[in-house]
Amino acid sequence: MSSYDDLNDFDGTLIFPWSELVPVLVVYGFSFILGLTGNCLIIFTTFRYRRMRSVTNIFLSSLASSDLLLIIFCIPVKVAKLFSFTWTMGLTLCKSVHYMQNLSAICSVLTLTAISIERYYAIVHPMKSKYVCTLRQAKSIILVIWVMSILLAIPALVIWVQTPVGEHGEYFWCIKDDSNTMLWKIHEIYLLMLVLIIPFSIMAYSYTFICCEVWKVMEHRCLMTNNQSYENACFKHQNFPFGSAIQSRDNKKGRTKIKNCRDDTNMVKQVIYMLVTVVVLFAICWTPLLIDNILTAYGVLSQERSGIFKYMLTTFHLMAYFNSCMNPIVYGFMSKTFRESFKLALCCSSDPRSYIRRTGSNYSMRFISRNGSQTKTTPDSKRQETTSLCVT
């Protein structure tokens, strides 16, 4: 219903606009199934396989948990709401479902901010990261993030109310309290600052310095490669006893060192690209809804939508909820580590070596070590080398 007058004439017969409902149901259904499966898979692989228990992956598991909160508690209620023109689920659910939505968004963005700071220390200040970016510290930070999110989402319990509508007040709507417009405006600005402006300013700062550091490392690696080539060329024209054997050995060591630096730098770039992609997608999916809420609070847009404005609001809500299932897709496409772990989990294998024997896969996982630097581990070698981005 789009107005109170419509409710006065409501005779209990529901006629649904299926042309509008079907696309929305498809998106919600896809988000629920993929989000539930993908985020559970992230949490399972992180805690099931020892080599996945890194600082960054622990944070990503917390991010998956906040997405699960949105998927499990909010999507079913949103779907049920589509089949009713009024709110029939009571005051408690009216407040709690929007509280959970805010809790999930706040927890997600605080986790993304913590990841950016952890990556900043691991790459820009690798020596400090040995003491700051540890698994114990990461778990403590995650606990603080969840406690802060629970507290920071409390204003949603105040701003959302169950309002009686209709001639005799026999129907209800679950809406924001428009009787106190000042409180409503403050709440929307509060959410915009908390979920978008402040955390994304911090993340922009962190990833800018990270990209600068990676760029310096790439230049350093290029210089190392050129120097190695020059030394080989000079050595080739000199006549030393056993020169060929020494040259061959030195060339082999030089090529191995350069290859390791190149591989580790590429891995750092891959991790940064993946994390920045997650941040950008979060901003794209949540910004329109946050801006729309502010425009509605200040009276630029009406609470009662029709036509293109109704479809616009529906799209913004779908984008915000769809974000909860996008992260597993990003990890699968951009992280070889998560891809291999997903394959292990889906193949129900607890031993990576048995997976290699069955599939013939060259299972060579890279992961972030406890001190935040890049390490490389293979089944044939138990040696771990801390590279610190190969800056020597």
Q: What is the pLDDT of residues 326-366, one digit of tens each?
A: 888 888 777 777 778 777 877 765 555 554 444 444 333 33
Is the separation of the CB atoms in 188 and 297 below 8 Å? yes
Cα–Cα separations (whole angstroms), residue 284 to 29, 314, 321 = 21, 15, 12
Confidence of residue 382 (pLDDT cuts 50, 70, 90): very low
Per-residue confidence (pLDDT) for residue 316, from 0 to 100: 92
Largest CA distance in the chain: 105
Q: What string of DSSP letters covers 78-119?
A: HHHHHT-SS--SHHHHHHHHHHHHHHHHHHHHHHHHHHHHHH
Percent of the chain with pLDDT over 70: 71
Half-sphere exposure of 59 (CA within 13 A, CB side): 26
Q: In angstroms, rounded to a whole number, what is the distance separating the alpha carbons of residues 340 and 355?
A: 10
Domains and CATH numbers, the chain: 17-216+277-390 (1.20.1070.10)
Cα separation, 339 vs 201, in Å, equals: 31
pTM given for the model: 0.77
Q: Where are the alpha helices (DSSP H) in 237-307?
A: 243-297
54-97, pLDDT tens digit by residue? 888 899 999 999 999 999 999 999 999 888 888 888 899 999 99
Per-chain mean pLDDT for the chain: 77
